[in-house]
Amino acid sequence: MTARIHDFWPSVGAAMGVDGLVDVVGLPPARGYVLFLVDGLGEVNLREHAQHAPFLSGLDAVPDVRSNVPSTTVTSLTSLGTGVRPGQHGVAGYTVRVPETGERLNSIQWDQPLDPRAWQAHPMVLAQMARAGVAVAAVNEARFAGSGLTACSQRDVPYHGVTSTWERHDVLLDLAEAAGRPAVYAYESHLDHTGHQHGCTSPQWRDVLSRVDTDLARLRADLPEDVRLLVTADHGMIDLPRDGRFDVDEHPRLLDGVELIAGEARFRHLHTATPELVADRWREELGDRAEVRLRAECEEWFGPLDPAVAGRFGDVVVAARGDFAVFSSREFAREMEMVGFHGSTSETETRIPLLIG
């Protein structure tokens, strides 16, 4: 059975004896677990640069582990925190339509007047584990405390904001060494940021990977022996050549009937009152460069859609294939400057590691 990112905390909870949770992953027994997520470290990316991460590459790996779709941070972190698929929690992508207003929400910047607890109503698996007596905690960058995404994906869990890798290391050790049964989440953002700016095959990306590998090797060495280290990611990444960048604003015919474009370059949500016509038009133009589906055809990707959140997903969804992506120079100018991308359904973007140390 393929494990997905929403299976991780239920598996940890089940391994720690929490009733009502199922260990899909098959974790080794332990007093506690530290689940450390490295943003952007896809399994394919790690394998291709194994020489720069000897510690991580030498760990035991759970086979065939996937993110959900879209393979993007906001969706994956919310799936991780809630234990449910995107079609249930409704955090549909980096940018997403707010059905009640027709406006576009940036799920990182949280630039619409929305209560994140109402927007994402599912509780946290870690909060359920805490009620069963597990000592849960989240260790993350201090600047993310209180953000909309944190409220969607990590709320109701003690949050330890840190400002350096050394501080993170010390806090993780304190939490793991405390009496009882710890289950601790930690997050590292720099690899993803570097990939977007310089590319995931760049010397800069490899340098950050090496630093992360050293940090995690030190963490494993310092953790108590009865606390297992689990290392994972939210998605992988590809570098996109310039000739694969399709600017939809140069093809106005494709925008006929499209009320709003959301998502991101590798995975677009199109909102329209005429989905069949728009889908046919996009299929004709893009051909095999993208898979174009109607919302009703996307259960394989999103899971069953809760009617309460279905309107956040595109009436038409465009998943890029190969070295291709859909840009809008007017609506998403910043994306045009990036090198590394993710969000679509490819092996590189969706296959993630789950390493056991």
Q: What is the Cα–Cα distance from 43 to 28, expressed in whole angstroms?
A: 21
pLDDT at 255 over 90: yes
Query: Which pLDDT does position 2 carry in this prediction?
Result: 87
Dihedral of alpha carbons 102, 311, 4, 129, sign: positive
pLDDT 10s digits, 313-343: 999 999 999 999 999 999 999 999 999 999 9
Q: What is the Cα–Cα distance from 288 to 290, expressed in whole angstroms?
A: 5
Asked if residues 75 and 14 have their Cβ atoms less than 8 Å apart, the reply is no
Query: Which pLDDT does position 1 carry in this prediction?
Result: 75
pLDDT at 344 over 80: yes
Q: What is the Cα–Cα distance from 77 to 345, expressed in whole angstroms?
A: 17
List 140's β-bridge partners, or say none: 161
Structure tokens at 183: 């289950």
pLDDT at 190 over 80: yes
pLDDT at 201 over 90: yes
For range 139-167, the mean pLDDT? 97
pLDDT at 230 over 90: yes
Percentage of residues in the chain with pLDDT exceeding 90? 99
| DSSP H or E stretch at residue 206 | helix 203-222
Asked if residues 32 and 184 have their Cβ atoms less than 8 Å apart, the reply is yes
Mutual orientation of helices 8-15 and 73-82 as an angle, nearest 10°? Answer: 30
pLDDT 10s digits, 265-296: 999 999 999 999 999 999 999 999 999 999 99
pLDDT at 220 over 80: yes
Contacts of 344 (CB under 8 A, 6+ apart): 69, 70, 71, 266, 267, 319, 320, 321
Q: How far is CA 139 from CA 154, 214, 276, 300, in A?
A: 10, 18, 45, 32
Which of 91, 85, 212, 190 is CA-nearest to residue 141?
190
Asked if residues 2 and 16 have their Cβ atoms less than 8 Å apart, the reply is no
Q: What is the Cα–Cα distance from 201 to 325, expressed in whole angstroms?
A: 18
Asked if residues 64 and 2 have their Cβ atoms less than 8 Å apart, the reply is yes
∠ Cα 230 108 190 (to 5°): 45
Distance between first and last Cα of the chain: 22
Q: What is the Cα–Cα distance from 305 to 322, expressed in whole angstroms?
A: 27
CA Rg value for the chain: 20
**Strand 267-272 to 316-320 pairing:** antiparallel
User: Across the chain, what does the average pLDDT equal?
Assistant: 97
Asked if residues 146 and 30 have their Cβ atoms less than 8 Å apart, the reply is no
Q: What is the Cα–Cα distance from 239 to 338, expressed in whole angstroms?
A: 9
CA of residue 338 relative to chain centroid, distance: 18
Query: If 0-12 CB within 10 Å is exposed, 13-18 middle and 19+ buried, where does residue 64 land?
Result: exposed
Cβ-defined contacts of 307-311 (< 8 Å, 24+): 308/90, 309/87, 309/88, 309/89, 309/90, 309/92, 310/87, 311/97, 311/99
What amino acid occupies position 36? F
pLDDT 10s digits, 49-101: 999 999 999 999 999 999 999 999 999 999 999 999 999 999 999 999 999 99
Q: What is the Cα–Cα distance from 88 to 84, expressed in whole angstroms?
A: 6
